[in-house]
Amino acid sequence: MALPQPKADATAARTAALRMPEGAKWATAAREEALSRVNAMGLPGRRDEYWKWTRPESLVAPDAPEAAVFDAGEAPIFGEIDSVKLVFVDGVFDPAQSDDPSLGGVEIERLGDAAAADIHWAKDLFGVLEARGQSPVPRTLAALNTAFAAEGVVIRATGKAEKPVALVYHHGAAASDAMVHHCIRVESGAALSVLESGPGASRFSKVMEVEVADGGRFDHIRVQGRDHERRTMTHVFARLGAESVFKSFTLTMNGVLTRNECVIEFTGDEGVAHVAGASVGDGDFHHDDTVFITHDALDCESRQVFKNVLRNGATGVFQGKILVKAGAQKTDGYQISQALLLDDDSQFLAKPELEIYADDVACSHGSTTGAIDETALFYLRSRGVPKAAAEDLLVLSFLAEAIEEIDDQGIAAEILSRLEAWLARRR
Amino acid sequence: MLKISNLHVKLEEEDKQILKGVDLEVGAGQVHAIMGPNGSGKSTLSYVLSGRDGYEVTEGAATLDGADLLEMEPEERAAAGLFLAFQYPVEIPGVGNMTFLRTAVNAQRKARGEAEMSSTDFLKEIRAKAKELQIDADMLKRPVNVGFSGGEKKRNEILQMAMLEPKMCVLDETDSGLDVDAMKLVADGVNALRSEGRSFLVITHYQRLLDHIRPDVVHIMADGRIVKTGGPDLALEVETNGYAGILAEEA
């Protein structure tokens, strides 16, 4: 079916502004297939149901809008953690600022090097999970990223990684349009932890394809920087084998537009996937968590916990779906999305969905929007805690369920302190 | 200590008068009990004293050691020495019990211009006081009141009282939802805090709590007023004759 003309025009205008990187045959083939997906599906527009609440224009426009580079004046969030640090500036790998990418039990390469090799394991992943994730809902910006992203890393864990890989994304030029694409494979019984931080660019598109083989474990902690004007579009595509564990937590502070899509598929029995997010926004802030989890195996557990704190006209969006296919018995699915509105001007839009074709499952979902609980506030104040401090305590209390999804206590404490500082700056 | 005179209060959102001229004076070191049927205004009195939103004082005054309570924010009343033990203590997920108490203790000290309590001193003190109330280390670490039983919640209120060392304690139906053993434990906690400089206002439906916390003075409240005041025997009279009997007598 031909695309509507405005969508076809917007898609053509965007792709015309981009150049496909060179690579080996397999990589070029994967990119060309991705480009044909882009042309077939068309880039998102206002009329698309999946973009009902988040306007995609600025993500689709040929030129990236400018964003002032923001100096937070604070230490990098994962700076104290012993990690292999890989730094990207406006989406371009910067070897000078990065650590030597050697880590026991882990292979790390630049996407460009992997894509130039005639034979490479990443061939089975690059664009493959993204393509699988295009149904039932098109995610054309992810296909666009596969087609054109020149940078990124491919990481393969064959054992238990001694330390995390920290991907740091600096924003350099006021107008910068970055596309980064990572492929991660955690082999059977292996374990890897990836930390991500920073705004990336004025417009940042990032795709991460993650395959966790049987019995593997992948931990992901992401902090999306405090830059107010940045625009970020991310996709995580994960395919999980039997008895594997996938855990992802995202902290988002500020940002004029952030859309984080996460697409997870259980293909082996007894897998576990937890996706959580805490986002805090003030004023010109639009945050969108869009999650799609497909249970296609027995006895898997998925958990989605998303919390938004919104003030001064900020907007939060949640679109979350649990799809349980016929035969995916004993599925345990949980989904909660909540917003705490600190004033009457902010809004939260949520579309929680369950679609279940198996008869022996336990799935629940809930979504709430509310203000600070007056009874709790009075309780704290009656103990002598001043109003402002009591409100901050209740905001942190609201976010607690999401933060509890972080297993590493040191990281959880650091995230908590960043949130406390965010609140304190608004006093 | 606490002086309430001709206190008239109505609900802010509807034109409903709840307190219709309450007069009450609690001296230093005294324990007063307020008894009364449902809807007589007992809990409203406790909320108005501690500064909860939703009530409008239309007439009268309430002072603590001469300071006008009604002009203060709830946290200022707490720092001035007022404490309300809630009938339904509030659960606060994600905030550790101990963290919360330390925040409260130090906020009050700061408000009074006193030095903050060091974490070592705080820990030492809270452990000792928790032990007396049979509150274990786990309860101290858990989020405030989350997953606590009814008895644990009330004991936690008394622990807060013990740590905050108020001079005027208002206990709002602290006995509700407690079995006999739990009530005794809570009463023992309260009794341990009785001292010359500390007064109590114990609000209850039933006389049985007053078997354990012996009051100096008992007031009967009905329809927004104190209608009868007497010694501890008055509580026994309620038990025998019921409120209806006493109210009929007063009418």
Domain contains A362: yes
DSSP, residue by residue, B151-169: HHHHHHHHHHHHHH--SEE
Q: Say if residue A391's pLDDT is above 70.
A: yes
Sign of the C-alpha dihedral, residues A223, A228, A230, A231?
Answer: positive
Parse chain B into domains and list their residue ranges.
2-91+167-250
Amino acid, single-letter form, for residue A205: S
Cα–Cα nearest to B238, from B251, B225, B228: B228
- pLDDT band with cut points at 50, 70 and 90 for residue B51: very high
Average pLDDT over every residue of A235-251: 98
Q: Report the pLDDT value the prediction gives residue A414, as an integer from 0 to 100.
A: 95
The rounded distance, in Å, linking the Cα atoms of A269 and A243 is 6
| Phi, psi values for residue A124, rounded to 5° | -80, -5
Q: Say if residue B98's pLDDT is above 70.
A: yes
- pLDDT band with cut points at 50, 70 and 90 for residue B135: confident
Alpha helices in B112-232 (DSSP H): 119-132, 137-141, 150-164, 180-193, 208-212
Q: Report the pLDDT value the prediction gives residue B251, as an integer from 0 to 100.
A: 62
Which of A383, A393, A397 to mutate: most B Cβ within 10 Å?
A383
- Closest Cβ–Cβ partner in A382, A389, A394 for B78: A382
Domain contains A393: no
Instruction: Round the average pLDDT of chain A to a whole number and report it.
Output: 96
Is B53 within 8 Å of A398 when comparing Cβ atoms? no
Chain A closest-CA separation from residue B106 CA (Å) = 9
Looking at CATH, the fold of the domain delimited by B2-91+167-250 is given as Rossmann fold (3.40.50)
3-state secondary structure string, chain A?
CCCCHHHHHHHHHHHHCCCCCCCCHHHHHHHHHHHHHHHHHCCCCCCCHHHCCCCCHHHHCCCCCCCCCCCCCCCCCCCCCCCEEEEEECCEECHHHCCCCCECCEEEEEHHHHHHCCCCHHHHCCCHHHHHCCCCCCCHHHHHHHHHCCECEEEEECCECCCCEEEEEECCCCCCEEEEEEEEEECCCCEEEEEEECCCCCEEEEEEEEEECCCCEEEEEEEECCCCCCEEEEEEEEEECCCCEEEEEEEEECCCEEEEEEEEEECCCCCEEEEEEEEEEECCCEEEEEEEEEECCCCCEEEEEEEEEEECCCEEEEEEEEEECCCCCCCEEEEEEEEEECCCCCEEEEEEEEEECCCCCEEEEEEEEECCCHHHHHHHHHCCCCHHHHHHHHHHHHHHHHHCCCCCHHHHHHHHHHHHHHHHHCC
Amino acid, single-letter form, for residue A217: R
Q: Confirm or reject contact between B74 and chain A (CB < 8 A).
A: yes
The rounded distance, in Å, linking the Cα atoms of A197 and B97 is 32
A58-93 tens-digit pLDDT:
999 999 999 999 988 888 999 999 999 999 999 999
Q: Say if residue A48's pLDDT is above 80.
A: yes
Which of B12, B48, B52, B159 to mutate: most A Cβ within 10 Å?
B52
Q: Which residue would you say has higher pLDDT here, B195 or B239?
A: B195
Chain A closest-CA separation from residue B48 CA (Å) = 12
Is B104 within 8 Å of A379 when comparing Cβ atoms? no
Q: Report the pLDDT value the prediction gives residue A2, as an integer from 0 to 100.
A: 85
Q: Say if residue A336's pLDDT is above 90.
A: yes
The rounded distance, in Å, linking the Cα atoms of B70 and B56 is 10
ipTM given for this complex: 0.96
Is A385 within 8 Å of B107 when comparing Cβ atoms? yes
Q: Confirm or reject contact between B90 and chain A (CB < 8 A).
A: yes
Q: Say if residue B47's pLDDT is above 70.
A: yes
Q: Say if residue A248's pLDDT is above 90.
A: yes
In A315-374, the residues whose Cβ lies within 8 Å of chain B are 373-374
Domain count, chain A: 1
- pLDDT band with cut points at 50, 70 and 90 for residue A110: very high
Q: Are A386 and B107 in contact (CB under 8 A)?
A: yes
A358-388 tens-digit pLDDT:
999 999 999 999 999 999 999 999 999 999 9
Which structural domain, as residue segments, surrounds residue A363? 5-373
Q: Report the pLDDT value the prediction gives residue A87, as an integer from 0 to 100.
A: 98
- pLDDT band with cut points at 50, 70 and 90 for residue A403: very high
Domain contains A394: no
Q: How is residue A70 written in tokens?
A: 């923001």
Chain B closest-CA separation from residue A409 CA (Å) = 14
Q: Say if residue A427's pLDDT is above 90.
A: no
Chain B closest-CA separation from residue A175 CA (Å) = 40
The rounded distance, in Å, linking the Cα atoms of A306 and A165 is 25
Domain contains A424: no
Q: Report the pLDDT value the prediction gives residue A249, as an integer from 0 to 100.
A: 98
Chain B closest-CA separation from residue A364 CA (Å) = 20
Average pLDDT over every residue of A151-163: 97
Q: Say if residue A1's pLDDT is above 80.
A: no
Q: Confirm or reject contact between B100 and chain A (CB < 8 A).
A: yes
